[in-house]
């Protein structure tokens, strides 16, 4: 489950996406320089081998660690794409290109948003769309919708079985886990799965926020929205089966669907220069947006190599995961310990971005500092978790999830 929004303005295009995946699925940043490929070259995507093109552009990807394709990505020409799982009336083939494969192939091969849409459609026509989209649940397959942007324009591309629809964006637009182009959605959507994804609730919120978004700070605020609050707890409205799916900042906590925001990306695309900021961690509500560049790969020492479903003490993803899982046990108490400093730091970086290595190095220090503050507070008053905003089923979900991930949080 995911949410993507865009704002097309005369001077720039604003883009933002939350990628929602299983909570133990680390998502990594991945850089690839522009390359020339010999005639007859092949490329191995997630489930297939297909012919390679003669030249691929420089790209920056945010992708699940086990997957070739990407959840969101940009290239040297400013083409920036986010994709969504959508649910239609058609069976998804067991073999084909995943939506994430199509996204990566499009940013590698297209230098405008319009050409990226054509690349995706040509690839679907030749190889089909399909294949498993979950490492541990091979039966999870879906078609995709895409929000495709560059420095001047943006398009919504929706697919369902052999059908597709395209809409050029005018002003603000968002997409989620349901078909949204009206006539196309009416003819092809799966009503039950679309309802269960809670996409209509989330999309209504992201579209409203997109309509008033003016800068990167507004985009970050949109992605941090937890949705309608629970009347009982005053916090995230967790459903016993679906978890916290009613806000774009999604938190797992249900026993049928375990989706959680595992990476976030915001961008300002402009003819003069592009600005990209990523969390490179889960949960933007506890994360810190840091500047990245398509032309400047980060040293691995600043990111680590997170494993899928197995916590470590060194990678940025899992170090932050320990922090956010502790904070979310009682957000009303723990957020004030770091939120104001985090927002102030982002405000300064949005106005004048430092070099990416410098920002990530500082972010490591801030994460250590905030983790210490939260854990120190928890040690001093261990009963604060007893008053947490988690309902009983969500507490049980996270107890089991932490055990599965070999992640020990303070106070457990």
**Residues with a known catalytic role:** 2
CA distance 368 to 235: 26
Asked whether 6 and 172 are in contact (CB, 8 A), the reply is yes
> Rounded to an integer, what distance in angstroms lies between the CA atom of residue 287 and that of residue 346?
11
Q: Which residues pair with 143 in a beta bridge?
A: 86
DSSP character for 129?
B
The Cα 194–Cα 78 span in angstroms is 31
Q: 122: Cβ–Cβ under 8 A, 6 or more apart, which residues?
A: none
H helical segments located in 245-338: 316-327, 331-334
Q: Contact, 143 vs 99, CB < 8 A? A: yes
User: Distance between CA atoms of 252 and 261, rounded to whole angstroms?
Assistant: 8
Contact status, residue 291 vs residue 267, Cβ threshold 8 Å: no
- The rounded Cα 107 to chain-centroid distance in angstroms is 17
């Amino acid at each position: 489950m995911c949410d993507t929004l865009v704002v097309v303005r005369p001077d720039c295009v604003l883009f933002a996406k939350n990628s929602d995946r299983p909570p133990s699925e680390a998502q990594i940043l991945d850089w690839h320089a522009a390359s020339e490929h010999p005639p007859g070259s092949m490329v191995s995507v997630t489930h297939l081998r297909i012919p390679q093109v003669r030249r691929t552009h420089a790209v920056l990807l945010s992708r699940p660690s086990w997957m070739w394709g990407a959840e969101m990505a940009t290239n040297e020409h400013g083409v920036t794409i986010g994709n969504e799982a959508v649910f239609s009336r058609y069976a998804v083939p067991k073999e084909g290109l995943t939506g994430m494969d199509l996204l990566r192939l499009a940013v590698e091969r297209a230098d405008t948003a319009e050409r990226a849409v054509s690349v995706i459609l040509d690839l679907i026509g030749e190889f089909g769309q399909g294949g498993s989209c979950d490492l541990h649940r091979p039966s999870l397959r879906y078609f995709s919708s895409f929000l495709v942007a560059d420095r001047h324009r943006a398009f919504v591309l929706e697919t369902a079985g052999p059908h597709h629809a395209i809409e050029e964006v005018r002003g603000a637009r968002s997409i989620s886990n349901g078909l949204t182009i009206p006539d196309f959605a009416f003819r092809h959507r799966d009503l039950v799965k679309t309802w269960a994804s809670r996409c209509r609730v989330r999309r209504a919120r992201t579209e409203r926020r997109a309509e008033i978004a003016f800068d990167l700070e507004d985009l970050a605020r949109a992605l941090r929205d937890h949705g309608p609050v629970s009347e009982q707890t005053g916090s995230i409205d967790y459903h016993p089966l679906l978890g916290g799916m009613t806000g774009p900042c999604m938190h797992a906590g249900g026993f049928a669907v375990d989706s959680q925001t595992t990476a976030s990306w915001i961008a300002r695309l402009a003819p003069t220069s592009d600005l990209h900021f990523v969390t490179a961690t889960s949960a933007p509500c506890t994360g810190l947006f840091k500047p990245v560049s398509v032309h400047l790969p980060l040293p691995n020492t600043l990111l680590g190599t997170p494993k899928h479903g197995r916590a470590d003490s060194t990678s940025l993803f899992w170090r932050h995961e320990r922090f956010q899982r502790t904070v979310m046990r009682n957000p009303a108490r723990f957020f004030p310990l770091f939120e104001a400093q985090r927002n102030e730091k982002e405000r300064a970086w949005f106005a004048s971005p430092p070099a990416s290595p410098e920002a990530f190095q500082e972010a490591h220090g801030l994460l250590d500092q905030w983790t210490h503050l939260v854990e120190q507070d928890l040690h001093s008053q261990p009963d604060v978790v007893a008053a947490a905003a988690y309902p009983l089923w969500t507490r049980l979900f996270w107890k089991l999830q932490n055990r599965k991930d070999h992640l020990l949080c303070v106070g457990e």
